[in-house]
Amino acid sequence: MTELLQWARYHWQRPIGRTNTDDDERPYSYSSLLACGGKSSQTPRLAGKHRVVVPHLQLFKEEYEKFSGTYVNNRIRTTKYTLLNFVPRNLFEQFHRVANLYFLFLVVLNWVPLVEAFQKEITMLPLVVVLTIIAIKDGLEDYRKYKIDKQINNLVTKVYSRKEKKYVDRCWKDVTVGDFIHLSCNEVIPADMVLLFSTDPDGICHIETSGLDGESNLKQKQVVRRYAEQDSEVDPEKFSSRIECESPNNDLNRFRGFLEHSNKERVGLSKENLLLRGCTIRNTEAVMGIVVYAGHETKAMLNNSGPRYKRSKLERRANTDVLWCVLLLVVMCLTGALGHGIWLSRYENIPFFNIPEPDGHSLSPVLAGFYMFWTMIILLQVLIPISLYVSIEIVKLGQVYFIQSDVDFYNEKMGSTVQCRALNITEDLGQIQYLFSDKTGTLTENKMVFRRCSVAGFDYCHEENAKRLESYQEAASEDEDSADTPSGSLSNMAKPRALSCRTVHSRPLGSISSNHLTGSCFALESREGASEVPHSRQAAFSSPIETDVVPDTRLLDKFSQITPLLFTPTDETIPDPPLETLYIIDFFIALAICNTVVVSAPNQPRQKVGLSSLRGIPIKSLEEIKNLFQRLSVRRSSSPSLASGKEPSGVPNAFVSRLSLFNRMKPASPVEEEISQTSESLQGSDDSACPTEIEKQNSDAGIANGKVEALPGQPLTSSLCYEAESPDEAALVYAARAYQCTLQSRTPEQVVVDFAALGPLTFQLLHILPFDSVRKRMSVVVRHPLSNQVVVYTKGADSAIMELLSVASPDGPGLEKQQMMIREKTQKHLDDYAKRGLRTLCIAKRVMSDTEYAEWLRNHFLAETSIDNREELLLESAMRLENKLTLLGATGIEDRLQEGVPEAIEALHKAGIKIWMLTGDKQETAVNIAYACKLLEPNDKLFVLNTESKNACEMLMDTILKELQKNPASPEQASLSASLHQPPPTLQGSGLRAALIITGKTLEFALQESLQKQFLELTARCQAVVCCRATPLQKSEVVKLVRSHLRVMTLAIGDGANDVSMIQVADIGIGISGQEGMQAVMASDFAVSQFRHLSKLLLVHGHWCYTRLSNMILYFFYKNVAYVNLLFWYQFFCGFSGTSMTDYWVLIFFNLLFTSAPPVIYGVLEKDVSAETLMQLPELYRSGQRSEAYLPLTFWITLLDAFYQSLVCFFVPYYTYQGSDIDIFTFGNPLNTAALFVILLHLVIESKSLTWIHMLVIAGSILCYFCFALAFGAMCVTCNPPSNPYWIMQEHMADPVFYLVCVLTTCVALLPRFIYRVLQGSLFPSPILRAKHLDRLPAEERIEALKKWRGTGQMDQLTSKYADHSAVESERIPIYDPSAVFAVMSATACAVEKGNLPVCETALDSDFSETKASGMAGPSKD
């Protein structure tokens, strides 16, 4: 409607505007229209923080400099550093880490002469190395970004140049706010700009946003209202408007502002007018726009948050242990300080070896002890593993590499594999205790198949369709081509074969002539389109199964009653039956048009016919336009239009009359329409300069096509392609097409539907109220071409629609009664659908009088143009429109389960993960899907929480809790407090499982503070929880509640924008890159393409990553403590003077070089159990949940072992060399060498699998050590005082005692751990160890053993469930896939019904569905 208005105003103003008589036209301006609506004419004022954009032109030179100078240009710089600031800035950032600061402190400390332990410079080395490694990594990353930035900045676009008065090529980086940009098809938008012109006659422009959000369907954008109807390009020189809009923000779905013309007239701007940087222009020849946000202020860049940083649980655990290490260090240093003080105080005189201060005095023992404390800290600093953090990062990179290269995650269809977006929480995957899953698109395919519908209270079961789907599933292995055959053969069974949907496919507007008309530019385009469009369609609909619907024969019979006569004036004489027929017509029209589906042909871009001709003959003279306009208005007034409709023509409102004048109504009767169409087309061929004419021509082409294709027995290849934002919409449109109600084209102003018996109908699209999750519905406002009424078609969730149905029917009490009946029956059908797991939608309509509509429109305009609280106003406005609805019917759409979902859920359940399903669907649908995907088992005890008040909720929870306590499902679940810190307890014994179903409303109460604890206690006792009707906010609140109160590891998985908040709140967020765009993926830490990949990601990679990393971290602690303690023990023999018996270079390299690579390799490649076994025995995952690999106790045991080993390492050489003439550094050499062997062999003992890489690295480390020691010993004659390594290693290598000492030390040091592992392996093997045994068995034995393993787990509820799996199977079938049984029954029902009276039919139908419903309820509720 608004477009129409604009169009009208434009045509008013254009002829006159050119003659500069603006003032005369003021009364007609937009703001005055608002004023006469009776509301306050106050146009929303923009605050100062808003952005003003003025064109970069002479006219605005001063203003331009004032405003635009402050806005950033389009150059982007995503790099953090420049060449100059790299070093300081990188250092600054690195020193944000506490660990680095600590080491810096040590370095500084070493420069204090009194406490210096080593040579000053040397101490810096480890820190420098670590800083350098990280700096190089950062630098490389940054350089890569720099190169990409440069590449992007230098892309070329066409910018209007003031000097040359034309569009010139310019780099992206030189684009500034206020520039005019001209883009051709397939070009990428360089900056956020307001669309001013499109070659599309409707002023729309298609863009592909996959670069931004990954959604591959095309989105429509609209030219700013005033410019919408412009037929030639906006001349930038003449552009005299200024734009005010909000300051840059990152909300992709919001853009508010207005465009103010030089005459102070304002036009509201919305996101529909904004072209976003990074998107691609598609299917539109050329567009022009003015830049409003550039560079970093564009929405794309503001959304570019980069990789996410989370801290994993394991790392948090490690951090506390680092603190313990610090404490240990302090204790050791205190010991040293105290020891030194005591040692000093023993001497009365100054001994030789205690060197006095330069002034000849000696330090007092207390002071010396104090200094010694700091010296000790320097000496023993390695106790805090500086390399730990670097190593962890490297290991995680390696783990991410392996996860991403797992071929099992590769999805052939989408060509995508797993993405790790968060690099540092891989190990959290191995510790998940709670899983929160979305339903649609996550568990299900989100590929909607139309299954059933109910129109005017009659259920149409579409049994042929069901059969076709069945057989398709059976024949799933067949290839794509043969997939068509079953549907074909089945459609033979349908009696009216000619009506099989496949014959109905019609060609789009692009006829041969249109192809001919479009220029060479499109030839190129269509070639590209041919390669791309089918691909994206393939992503949406992998097979014809979703798009082909076999019509229900019963419904088809009723279709045959539809004749154009129904709409002739005589139709009032026909009694009741036509009402139902009318309902059917309305129902299918609603299906076809109540959506935002874009129609396009797969092989060529959707393109207006008249484009090139339009460009060929540009309108030049004012006179021509005037003529044109006059001719138009004359024809309008002659044709029967709104004014002569049902509405009394004498409406005083000038607005409506103007509306009637300028809207491009179709004639009321089809006959008349055709006549006028022909005449118009004749005219059109005469003068194709007018866009309106071309419109007509288009519809003519549509009619022609429709007629040709509607002929029976003339099958055409499917060539209409629907691109829908949600698959439901597409499914409904395809369903409508099956009934010959084909959506032919859609523009912002009109929708053409080819309706079987009625011929093509052109609906004037007055308004679209898009879907949102608050209203849970969407509406279109159209003018019905046949009845000529304003009709609102609403489609939405049943709960949303049912509340809005009109209580009183305007047409009399009889109809009211019928309405009530329809409503009741439809509700019954809806319940039935939901029980079968179908997604239900209600379709309703409302007929409005023109006055009502005009009234509403006025208010709606007001809402649309307000800037500050537009959302609320729009919602209010929608509420005003969507009420007093008349129910037409309901649809049931099947959302099939994804492949492997039940198996994955079963495995995750076995792994001890509690799974919650959070969905916006209704309860029945959710429960059914939950059964289908094995989230609920048939013998589960279901508790439904569905209350209207908080008190009721509390009482119900109490009762359920009591009941659960009566049946002690598991003795472990004694109380909540017990389960607070424990992983989810395993249910044992009786095998009773409980499941909780909770609805959104009740969830609201349960989430309140006072009930939280009770709710959590209840859920802790339930194996599965299903939350239905949950809003996105509730989803995230549930996750937050569980996460913070139970202190468990949570994982949220979802695919849509409504899951984003949940994904962000959970410890790990997983996005499914599926049908609903990439928002979820963008917010996630990991992205997979299918739910079933989750099982391998968690069970295998999660387990591996966790065990690997935790063992590596423990090893690092062990390694450093063991090594540093050697120095500590030596202090007892050197008067606690802080002497190191090792050369400091060796000391440094020991950690940096000789023992750094093996643990990293271990952290990346360690494999305790094979992937196959882990998948087959999900129980093994539980060890990770319980953090078994890294318990606090494990840490202390590791430390104890480290102490023991260091003691052995020190005292075996000590006793060997005691009393001999050995010197300090010669004494240190065997200590070091033995320590190296001990530390490396310790790793070998801990490793569960050793590949050649392990061997190579370990051998390399040892070799490296000896080479270094030998080289150092040979070359360093006087270097590195005082520790002179000269020839020490060489001496030792020739000394048998050295070897004897090393061998003995190594053996004694490792003996306890070795014995422990051996005893553990043979006496009390952990499940992991036992599973490892399985890996070594030959294939057949392994299968046997696996069976036995599972068999012996009978005690385990998990396995008991597995045991009676087969028994359950038969029982479950009716629930799992009820359609099989149902289809047969309903087929007989349908046969009986044929020819029966409607009343009888109804009875049978409802009766039938009732029995069916009870049958359904039986097994599922028990």
Partner 1 sequence: MAMNYNAKDEVDGGPPCPPGGTAKTRRPDNTAFKQQRLPAWQPILTAGTVLPTFFIIGLIFIPIGIGIFVTSNNIREIEGNVFMYYGLSNFYQNHRRYVKSRDDGQLNGDPSALLNPSKECEPYRRNEDKPIAPCGAIANSMFNDTLELFQVGNASDLTPIPLKKKGIAWWTDKNVKFRNPPGTDPLEERFKGTTKPVNWVKPVYMLDSDEDNNGFINEDFIVWMRTAALPTFRKLYRLIERKNDLHPTLPAGRYYLNITYNYPVHSFDGRKRMILSTISWMGGKNPFLGIAYITIGSISFLLGVVLLVINHKYRNSSNTADITI
Binding residue positions for ATP: 438-440, 729, 771, 795, 839, 919-921, 1029, 1035, 1058-1059
Binding mask 406-425 vs partner 1 (x if CB under 8 A, - otherwise)? xx--x-x-xxxx-x-x----
Instruction: Give the residue from 1097, 1099, 1103, 1096 showing the smallest Cα distance to 1085.
Output: 1097
Q: Indicate whether 402 belongs to the interface with partner 1 (CB under 8 A).
A: yes
d(CA 599, CA 754): 13
Residue 686 CB neighbours (<10 A): 9
Binding mask 1153-1192 vs partner 1 (x if CB under 8 A, - otherwise)? ------------x-x---x---------------------
Beta bridge partners of 459: 454
**Least gap, CB of 484 to partner 1 (angstroms):** 24
**Phi, psi for residue 873 in degrees, rounded to 5:** -65, -40
Q: Residue 67 or residue 402: which is nearer to partner 1 going by CB?
A: 402
DSSP summary character for residue 273:
G
Applying CB under 8 A, among 1141, 1209, 1239, 1383 the residue interacting with partner 1 is 1141
What lies within 8 Å, CB to CB, of 1135 at 6+ separation is: 339, 340, 343, 344
Q: Indicate whether 512 belongs to the interface with partner 1 (CB under 8 A).
A: no
Q: Residue 70 or residue 349: which is nearer to partner 1 going by CB?
A: 349
To the query of whether residue 438 is one of the catalytic residues in this protein, the response is yes
User: Among 55-63, 195-203, 870-878, 1223-1231, which window interacts with partner 1 (CB under 8 A)?
Assistant: 1223-1231
Q: Determine which helix (DSSP H) or strand (DSSP E) holds 897, and give its type and residue range.
A: strand 886-897
Q: Indicate whether 355 belongs to the interface with partner 1 (CB under 8 A).
A: yes
What residues from 863 to 902 belong to the interface with partner 1 (CB under 8 A)? Answer: none
Q: Residue 206 or residue 1254: which is nearer to partner 1 going by CB?
A: 1254
Return the ∠ at Cα 728 (arms to 722 and 733), rounded to 5°: 45
**Phi, psi for residue 1288 in degrees, rounded to 5:** -70, -50
Are residues 377 and 109 in contact, defined by beta-carbon separation less than 8 angstroms? yes
SS3 assignment for 798-829: HHHHHCCECCCCCCCHHHHHHHHHHHHHHHHH
Instruction: Give the residue from 30, 10, 206, 193 showing the smallest Cα distance to 747.
Output: 206
d(CA 560, CA 1087): 50
Burial of 651 (0-12, 13-18, 19+ CB in 10 A): middle
CA distances from 859 to 10, 33, 875 (A): 22, 11, 12
Distance, C-alpha 232 to centroid of its chain: 41
Q: Residue 848 or residue 1331: which is nearer to partner 1 going by CB?
A: 1331
- 3-class secondary structure, 968: coil
* Residue in 200, 202, 213, 438 annotated catalytic: 438
Q: Indicate whether 1224 belongs to the interface with partner 1 (CB under 8 A).
A: yes
Q: Indicate whether 1247 belongs to the interface with partner 1 (CB under 8 A).
A: yes
Applying CB under 8 A, among 536, 639, 799, 1064 the residue interacting with partner 1 is 536
Q: Indicate whether 542 belongs to the interface with partner 1 (CB under 8 A).
A: no
Applying CB under 8 A, among 69, 569, 650, 1296 the residue interacting with partner 1 is 1296
User: Among 65-73, 343-351, 927-935, 994-1002, which window interacts with partner 1 (CB under 8 A)?
Assistant: 343-351
Q: Indicate whether 351 belongs to the interface with partner 1 (CB under 8 A).
A: yes
Q: Indicate whether 1348 belongs to the interface with partner 1 (CB under 8 A).
A: yes
Applying CB under 8 A, among 569, 713, 1282, 1338 the residue interacting with partner 1 is 1282
Q: Indicate whether 1226 belongs to the interface with partner 1 (CB under 8 A).
A: yes
Q: Indicate whether 1334 belongs to the interface with partner 1 (CB under 8 A).
A: yes
CA distances from 558 to 107, 348, 549, 770, 1352 (A): 89, 118, 17, 32, 61
Q: Indicate whether 117 belongs to the interface with partner 1 (CB under 8 A).
A: yes
d(CA 378, CA 126): 12
Q: Indicate whether 155 belongs to the interface with partner 1 (CB under 8 A).
A: yes
d(CA 57, CA 55): 5
**Least gap, CB of 125 to partner 1 (angstroms):** 19
Q: Residue 650 or residue 1281: which is nearer to partner 1 going by CB?
A: 1281
d(CA 258, CA 30): 12
Beta bridge partners of 230: none
Q: Indicate whether 1277 belongs to the interface with partner 1 (CB under 8 A).
A: yes
Q: Indicate whether 685 belongs to the interface with partner 1 (CB under 8 A).
A: no
Residue in this structure with the two tokens 């005459």, named with its chain if needed: 263
Applying CB under 8 A, among 161, 186, 613, 1064 the residue interacting with partner 1 is 186
Are residues 406 and 1088 in contact, defined by beta-carbon separation less than 8 angstroms? no
**Least gap, CB of 1340 to partner 1 (angstroms):** 15
Q: Indicate whether 1081 belongs to the interface with partner 1 (CB under 8 A).
A: yes
User: Among 462-470, 568-576, 738-746, 1348-1356, which window interacts with partner 1 (CB under 8 A)?
Assistant: 1348-1356
Q: Indicate whether 278 belongs to the interface with partner 1 (CB under 8 A).
A: yes
Q: Indicate whether 1258 belongs to the interface with partner 1 (CB under 8 A).
A: no
Q: Residue 338 or residue 579: which is nearer to partner 1 going by CB?
A: 338
Applying CB under 8 A, among 197, 856, 1349, 1376 the residue interacting with partner 1 is 1349
Q: Indicate whether 1287 belongs to the interface with partner 1 (CB under 8 A).
A: yes
What residues from 188 to 227 belong to the interface with partner 1 (CB under 8 A)? Answer: 188, 210-211, 214, 216
Residue in this structure with the two tokens 């808003």, named with its chain if needed: 50
Q: Indicate whether 309 belongs to the interface with partner 1 (CB under 8 A).
A: no
Q: Indicate whether 1251 belongs to the interface with partner 1 (CB under 8 A).
A: yes
Q: Indicate whether 1338 belongs to the interface with partner 1 (CB under 8 A).
A: no
Q: Residue 24 or residue 1344: which is nearer to partner 1 going by CB?
A: 1344
**Least gap, CB of 1092 to partner 1 (angstroms):** 18
What lies within 8 Å, CB to CB, of 1267 at 6+ separation is: none
Q: Indicate whether 1362 belongs to the interface with partner 1 (CB under 8 A).
A: no
**Least gap, CB of 1301 to partner 1 (angstroms):** 7
Number of amino acids touching partner 1 (CB under 8 A): 133
What residues from 590 to 649 belong to the interface with partner 1 (CB under 8 A)? Answer: none
Q: Residue 766 or residue 1127: which is nearer to partner 1 going by CB?
A: 1127
Are residues 1383 and 1413 in contact, defined by beta-carbon separation less than 8 angstroms? no
What residues from 75 to 104 belong to the interface with partner 1 (CB under 8 A)? Answer: 78
DSSP string, 1058-1091: GGHHHHHHSSEEEEE-SSS-SHHHHH-SEEESST
Q: Residue 38 or residue 351: which is nearer to partner 1 going by CB?
A: 351
Q: Residue 729 or residue 1166: which is nearer to partner 1 going by CB?
A: 1166
Q: Residue 413 or residue 1047: which is nearer to partner 1 going by CB?
A: 413
Residue type present at position 1076: E
Q: Indicate whether 1336 belongs to the interface with partner 1 (CB under 8 A).
A: yes
What residues from 1051 to 1080 belong to the interface with partner 1 (CB under 8 A)? Answer: 1073, 1078
**Phi, psi for residue 766 in degrees, rounded to 5:** -90, -35
User: Among 385-393, 711-719, 1226-1234, 1354-1362, which window interacts with partner 1 (CB under 8 A)?
Assistant: 1226-1234
SS3 assignment for 706-758: HHHHHCCCCCCCCCCEEECCCHHHHHHHHHHHHCCEEEEEECCCEEEEEECCC
Pairing mode, strands 759-772 and 750-755? antiparallel
d(CA 690, CA 180): 26
Q: Residue 278 or residue 510: which is nearer to partner 1 going by CB?
A: 278
As annotated, the binding site includes 438-440, 729, 771, 795, 839, 919-921, 1029, 1035, 1055, 1058-1059
Residue 845 tokens, joined = 């309509």
Q: Please give the sequence-ordered ranges of beta strands (E in DSSP) within 162-248, or none if there are none.
A: 166-171, 180-184, 192-198, 204-208, 218-222, 242-245
Q: Indicate whether 1286 belongs to the interface with partner 1 (CB under 8 A).
A: yes
Radius of gyration for the alpha carbons in the chain, expressed in angstroms and rounded: 38
Catalytic annotation, residues? 438
